[in-house]
Chains A and B, each alone.
Chain A
Amino acid sequence: MKPAEVSTPDDTSVVIKRSFAAPVPLVWRAYTEAELLKQWCQGPPGWSMPVCEMDSQTGGTYQWRWKDDSSGTEFGFQGRFLDVVEHRRIEHTQVYDAGNLGIPMGGKPWIVTVEFQDAGESTHVTTTITFASKEDRDSSMESGMTDGMEMNYQQLERTLTLAKD
Chain B
Amino acid sequence: MGSLNQSFAALADPTRLGIVAHLARSEATVSQLVDRFALTQPTITSHLNVLEEAGLISRTRVAQTRVCRLRAEELNRISDWLTQLQSVFEGNYRRLDKLLQELNQPQSEKKK
Residues of A within 8 A of B (CB): 1, 3-4, 6, 8, 14, 16, 18, 20-22, 26-27, 29-30, 36, 39-45, 127, 141, 145-147, 149, 151, 153, 156-157, 159-160, 163
Q: A40-B99, A141-B81 are in contact. Are A18 and B93 (CB under 8 A)?
A: yes
Interface stretch of the complex, out of B8-16, B52-60, B84-92: B84-92
Task: Kindly state the separation between the CA atoms of A6 and B99 in the bound complex, as whole angstroms.
Answer: 23
Contact at B93–A4, with CB atoms within 8 Å? Answer: yes
Number of B interface residues in the complex (CB < 8 A): 25
Contact with A along B85-106 (1 / 0, CB 8 A): 1111111111111111101100
Is residue B82 contacting chain A, with contact meaning CB distance below 8 A? yes
User: Could you tell me the distance between the alpha carbons of A74 and B103 in the complex, rounded to whole angstroms?
Assistant: 30
Residue among A39, A146, A151 facing the most chain B CB atoms (10 A cut-off): A146
Query: From residue A40, how far is it (CB to closest CB) to chain B in Å?
Result: 4
Secondary structure class of chain B's binding surface, majority of residues: helix
Q: Which residue of B lies closest to A3 (CB)?
A: B90
Query: Which chain B residues lie closer than 8 Å to A153 at the CB level?
Result: 83-84, 87
CB of B84 within 8 A of CB of A22, answer no
A149 and B82: CB pair below 8 A?
no
Q: Does chain A have a CB within 8 A of B77?
A: yes
B81 pairs with A160, CB closer than 8 A = no
| A40 and B95 within 8 A (CB) | yes
Q: Flag if A40 contacts B96 (CB, 8 Å).
A: yes
What are 14 residue pairs bridging A and B, where the CB atoms are less than 8 Å apart in the complex? A1-B93, A3-B90, A6-B85, A6-B89, A20-B93, A20-B97, A21-B97, A26-B100, A26-B103, A41-B92, A43-B88, A44-B88, A151-B87, A159-B91
A26 to B78, CA, bound (A): 34
Cα–Cα, bound, A80→B84 (Å)? 25
A65–B96 Cα distance when bound, in Å, is 18
Partner of A22, one of B83, B85, B100: B100
The winner among A3, A6, A20, A36 for most chain B CB atoms within 10 A is A6
Q: Could you tell me if B103 and A4 are in contact, using CB atoms closer than 8 angstroms?
A: no
